[in-house]
Chain A
Amino acid sequence: MRTEAVELSDTTPTPVRPRRAGAGAALVIIPAFNEAESLPWVLEELRTERPDLDVVVVSDGSVDETAAVARHAGVPVLELPFNLGIGGALRTGFRYAVEYGYDAAVQFDADGQHDPRTIDRLLDAVADGADLVIGSRFMEGGYPTYKISKLRRLAMRGLERTVMRLVGRRFTDTSSGYRGFSRRMLEYFARMYPVEYMDSVESLVIAVNGGFELREVPCGIRGRSGGAPSTRGWKLGYYYVRLLVVLLTSYTRPRHREVSRAAATNVPTSAGVAR
């Protein structure tokens, strides 16, 4: 599966070890599932725009050259042995960030829909004391418009309303894949990030319940450069219902249960695992 790495790596020096920089260092986490096509220029753009940031690619059981492409670009790769879904890939990234002592992290898409020039909006908010910063597609100040189908929009509106009722405040974009995390948030999520579909919405509720500070900043997206939305039609409806169940249960879940679940996952953190 990784034989192609041979011919690639002989042209490149591969500094795959993270810099382990302490205070102030930020990590860009790129979950990628079969994104070998767009990944090279996404990484290239990140390197030219933000050479100061460390990057890690989480290859979520990809069967294409995703991992090889990232290695070729000199980026550390976390290669999951099978597909865990976006939630699992992210949690792996969070664990990596915590392990190597990064102070902040940004979740960044592998398909090029996010602009590296807007990363600072997220990181600035984190530096300003926010724990979870959502790069909203629907706030003013981003790219002009982001168009989605009527049904999708309707589903998102409904979701927004549900979330609003649950957490007691309004978010314009609950399912954004462009977010910033503080160290505290990373440590928390490394242990209990929701691993099922629609992780972003559930994680938002979890973060609010955990007493973290959430903030939204406008960050437009550039439209999908390739591929289609991951889910549509009946399947989306099914996930939607499932999500409602998850949200309601996660809201009523007592705190001590979360701690015991966290202990079971056994992730080393700087503070030590709560037991």
Chain B
Amino acid sequence: MSLRAHIAILLLSIGTLVFILRLVRRHRLRAKYSVLWVSLGVVLAIVASAPSLLETFSDAIGVKTPALTFLLMAITFLLVLSLHFSWELSRLEDRSRGLAEEIALLRQRVDATELHDLADEQAEAELTLPFESVPFVAGDDDQRVRDEWRAQPREHAREPQQQGAAEPGQRA
């Protein structure tokens, strides 16, 4: 490799390093990935500054062209990396699926609780209101007045139902 190529690679690797460090500093990159990329930048810088290392390594593994060794390393690295990302994605999907299920179960629980509180309120209203509001009439007419009162349309008893029925819709 020519000197100019080395300088170019060196500059590139230093640029990468600086960029990664900036990302980490701004909390845009998780530390676990930063280690990966920082070490890549360092390896690049070493290879660029001391090309003889690459040649020695190529000889050791029996590859004639150092550039091919470099490519081989790069491709291996990328393959492993994308495999790792697939793994990470699967894990994330598992977790978001779990969360979605949890949300469905919880939402049902909330719906059930709200509706049953509502039903309890209604039952209470049905039980207490008639007796409190029936005008008191002594004697035999008592029962008849109560029946009449019960037969009347009751606006106030309906109120909680309408309010409550609107609730699930409002949350959507």
A-to-B contact residues, CB < 8 Å: 1-6, 9-10, 13-18, 58, 71, 76-82, 84, 88, 91-92, 95-96, 99, 195, 264-266
How far is A50 from B108 in the complex, measured between Cα atoms in Å?
Answer: 23
Q: Is the CB of A81 within 8 A of B172?
A: no
Measured between C-beta atoms, what is the minimum distance from B120 to chain A in Å? 11
Complex A-B, nearest 6 residue pairs according to Cβ-Cβ distance, in ascending order: A2-B172, A6-B169, A78-B104, A17-B112, A92-B101, A10-B165
Q: With an 8 A cutoff between CB atoms, is B50 at the interface? A: no
A3-B101 CB under 8 A given contacts A10-B161, A10-B162, A79-B107: no
Say yes or no: B103 contacts A81, CB within 8 Å: yes
Q: How far is the CA of A84 from the CA of B93 in the complex (A)?
A: 10
| Known contacts A14-B115, A16-B115, A88-B97, A79 near B104 by CB under 8 Å | yes
**Contacting residue for A265 out of B98, B108, B169, B171, CB 8 A:** B98
The answer to whether A76 and B169 touch across the interface, beta carbons within 8 angstroms, is no
Please report the total number of B residues contacting A with Cβ < 8 Å.
23
CB proximity to A under 8 Å, residues B88-122? 94, 97-98, 100-101, 103-105, 107-108, 111-112, 115-116, 119
Contact of B166 with A by CB under 8 A: yes
Other 12 A-B pairs with CB < 8 A, given A5-B168, A16-B115 = A6-B168, A9-B165, A14-B115, A17-B115, A18-B112, A58-B104, A71-B168, A84-B101, A95-B101, A95-B105, A264-B94, A265-B98
Known: A9-B168, A82-B100. Contact between A92 and B105, CB under 8 A? Answer: yes
Nearest opposing residue in chain B for A96, CB measure: B105
B166 touches A6 (CB 8 A): yes
List A contacts of B103 (CB < 8 A).
Answer: 80-81
CA of A78 to CA of B100, assembled, Å? 10
CB distance from A260 to the nearest CB of B (A): 12
CB contact list, B8-43 vs A, under 8 A: none
* B105 close to A2 (CB less than 8 A): no
Separation of A265 and B101 alpha carbons in the complex (Å):
11
Report the separation of the CA atoms of residues A4 and B162 in the bound assembly, to the nearest whole angstrom: 14
CA distance A2 to B101 in the complex (A): 19
A84 B97 Cβ-Cβ under 8 A: yes
Residues in B neighbouring A14, C-beta threshold 8 A: 115
Chain B, range 47-102, C-beta contacts under 8 Å to A: 94, 97-98, 100-101
List 30 interface pairs A-B (beta carbons < 8 Å), by A numbering.
A1-B172, A2-B171, A2-B172, A4-B169, A5-B169, A6-B168, A6-B169, A9-B165, A10-B162, A15-B119, A16-B111, A16-B112, A16-B115, A17-B116, A58-B104, A76-B112, A78-B107, A78-B108, A79-B108, A80-B100, A80-B103, A80-B104, A81-B103, A88-B97, A88-B101, A91-B101, A92-B104, A96-B105, A99-B105, A264-B94
